[in-house]
Structure 1
């Protein structure tokens, strides 16, 4: 068998196809590194985001190869060979299945090299499940392409299959009647992609998708190997069984979790010494980069009475933040290189707004007047604000003695945390 596989590998463009998929997959990932340089799971999810493109290429590659016998006009000759059709098809299926899966996994590996120096958190099981589902989807696409090329040996078959795959995420919800869980299950590239650094895929969902995609791949293999119409009807059975089993695993959609988050990735990892600086576990590789500017910001804020004593990563950017008075939140963003973005400016970002992040006030709460906040922040930073009203308030602050000015600035910080207007805090005693 190994000799036959080697011959098929040498006489078909399977190896070149794998290299093309490897280059395409790696190129797509490296074209948008800011989406996945936070960690390995976001990398796996982002690669699935581009899966419709890679599946389209695998379908086209398989379809082009599937029409080989028709193109060479040897269909009738092979039909007269004494060996069963399935035995003839197995080497080609193995060659194309293994090469497209290797191309997909190889792109993941090449991209993961970029994270080797900064990403320290990895849930191996969840990561492997997401990558494995993508690889099996590639195998199913290549095998279905082989079957389609054999049954429909036309020049337009390959490009039409590729276009259909490219468009599949756009029509997924329409096909499944708006059921998000079913769209995500049946279309491996739908609904995935790192929305936040803490996104994940539950093991139950990856298992369901693997079962469904394995059935799809088995059906495609049987369809390619089928010698008559009855065998082609049998090819419908594995995809049906796979889909039914997957639905049972997900309990008819009730076990589906929308926008799942990995709680371990959000767990804080802190410095051993004081003042304490903490970041999410998924970002623990940049803790040493964040600590110096965070402590410098804490030192500036230490001029205030009741100053914060800890710096903690800001984890919830799109929701109301429950920030305590003794904490400064770090607006950490991971850059394209996997390191903290603009670490030299991090101190200024943390001191701005007196160490209180935006969105601290819920709903229609008023918040504190911007001119007051800017003037107080400028006093701490030792800079002159640009806004005229804020500049006027800042000038009044600079004429006060240190203790009085610090007390007024601390009052502004308390107002920000309490979502109070703060009018007059810099111009009158409290």
Structure 2
């Protein structure tokens, strides 16, 4: 029995390694889509909107790219609720096998993209995002095979997903250098569907009685009262003030990094005074810098999980510290973006990566660590669906960035929204102080001598 248990432990950790690779290749590539703008322009995608006699009309070409990206980001998040329900009902393996079809459609459409088939960029962004969110949610759910290291594993997976944005930057270098064509790269990424099939059967399970994994979710640190694990308790978790504000906190604090990714191409072109070579270098750095999320996210996961199995007070303190850091980082990022200047570019790159990595790791670790595994699919799905709904705010914000000189108006709006979320931090602080007071009271009562 001990030998079998040891084999299962090795299998779980090997599974994490392969899921990390899968998340890095396929998890969040849509957020690196700005690197594709120059490639698409050279391929004459929507070039018919650019008239030689009026070069300003080329902004319409860029807007198609931005719209495709924004739509892709929305489809990356919005279906999460439905996907979460399917995960809880049928299991991760079942849902992921279906997502392989989305993966094939998404990357095949990019491989077949050419003038006259311009609309395929929308199909790629939508279907690759649908496949990507399934990969993300099923991978996050797999963190429940662990107990004490759950927050660390989920944050490690979050870091791998965030760093997936680097691949389109690598695409740009390879295509610009004439090393390989975009269609060839697309077919290579299409072949990763086999990796998805492999991880589905070897490291994920489903709610059927055959071909199951030899191990189940580790719930040793959770309540095992089966009477509590019902639909009423699901609603209790959904209406938990901590859950509600974590969802809102994530939805709003992701807006700065999402807005920055959508308007990056015109912004960097403006800041570099239309120096294409310099703009390409910064765009490459912008996407490649996200690889640091593989380190940043686990650090946040470690901080969130630090002594969290000891008492509720420590859990709340960990949440407060990590989320406060992410809140401050987003405030600084918004302020710097208001004053768009070349001297702030490096700082923008650093803050963007730090803020996104911290907030995603923090909120995902909160869900994975402080809520029951039975509902992890739905709770995670609902959270990311709200993030997707907030993504549509980008369409309104884009109207404020038509003239990039006046993009500061959009950042003022975003900054105001981020500042309001101090209410969540106050909520966590109050809960922490109450818990600390209760523990001190219990300690005094237990140690009183009459």
The reply to whether TM is greater than 0.5 is: no
* RCO higher in structure (CA 8 A, sep ≥6): 2
Query: Counting helix residues as a fraction of each chain, which structure ranks higher?
Result: 2
Greater C-alpha Rg:
1
